[in-house]
Amino acid sequence: MNGVTTLQAFVAVVRRDLMLALRRRADVLNTLVFFIIVVSLFPLGVGPEMDMLRKMAPGIVWVAALLASMLALSRLFAADYEDGTLETLVLAPQPLGLLVGAKVFAHWLISGLPLVIIAPVLGIQFDLPAESLAILALSLLLGTPVLGLIGAVGAALTLGVRGGGVLISLLVLPLYVPVLIFGAGAVEASAAGLGWTAHIALLGAFLAMSLFFAPWAAAVGLRIALE
């Protein structure tokens, strides 16, 4: 990537990952289908009691989004590690943390943004009011990138390790808990008629911190994996 500006390198990495994802559409759809199935099965299992469904909806949707996000983590760097692309990124003159951020952004566009879009539609079956559906989408819009950034650190640290998928879960699940609590809490507060802005503000703070620290931490993990 000599002679290429940092912005051009960022865009090139995002475009490459999106093009590769279009060739592996089954992998992309797995995350979305898993999310839809998990969220849709709960109303069938719990029953038609709307008050109970409204209370359970924020936690159900957020837990399903968290688990769906984890499904794709093991693929974040694995293909590049196997074909040697990762070594090219490490040797590029552009900061590795920025290139990792580009990969995480592409990963979120593929696996996170569809969840944000479909979640309000799925929330209708829980009889959530319109405001709560909007807060649900907003909380996922802020929270799913945090899940991806934290997951990238776990994926980098377990890259090339046997049983890496299980290790990623052990590493990132404790860090996912605050995002889950405040994401679901924002929707619960909105449904109860309480203030939800503090929850959203905390999710925004988590996103800002993750954007600053996670790509560079993942870059360090990738360098260790390649040594």
Task: Provide the residue type at 104 as one letter.
Answer: V
Cβ atoms of 113 and 31 closer than 8 Å: no
> Domain boundaries in the chain?
6-226
Residues 6+ apart with CB under 8 A from 46: 52, 53, 56
Amino acid type, 98 = L
The CA distance from 171 to 214, in Å, is 14
What pTM was computed for the model?
0.89
193: tokens are 């008629």
**Could you tell me what percent of the chain has a pLDDT over 70?**
96
Residue 137's pLDDT band (boundaries 50, 70, 90)? very high
pLDDT mean over 127-141: 91
Rounded to an integer, the average pLDDT of 184-207 is 90
State yes or no: pLDDT of 164 exceeds 70. no
Whether the CB-CB separation of 203 and 142 falls below 8 Å is answered with yes
Residue 220 has pLDDT above 80, yes or no: yes
Query: What is the arithmetic mean of pLDDT over 147-166?
Result: 82
With a cut of 80, say whether residue 1 has pLDDT above it: no
Report CA 37 to chain centroid distance, whole Å: 18
Structure confidence by residue, pLDDT tens digits, 41-51: 888 877 777 78
User: Would you state the pLDDT for residue 3?
Assistant: 53
Residue 163 in this model has a pLDDT that exceeds 70: no
Task: Dump the DSSP string for the chain.
Answer: -TT--HHHHHHHHHHHHHHHHHHTHHHHHHHHHHHHHHHHHHHHHH-S-HHHHHHHHHHHHHHHHHHHHHHTGGGTTHHHHHHTHHHHHHHSSS-HHHHHHHHHHHHHHHHTHHHHHHHHHHHGGGT--HHHHHHHHHHHHHHHHHHHHHHHHHHHHTTT-TTHHHHHHHHHHHHHHHHHHHHHHHHHHHHTTS--HHHHHHHHHHHHHHHHHHHHHHHHHHHHHH-
Does 53 score more than 80 pLDDT? yes
Residue 104: pLDDT over 90: yes
Out of 87-101, 109-123, 207-221, pick the least confident.
87-101
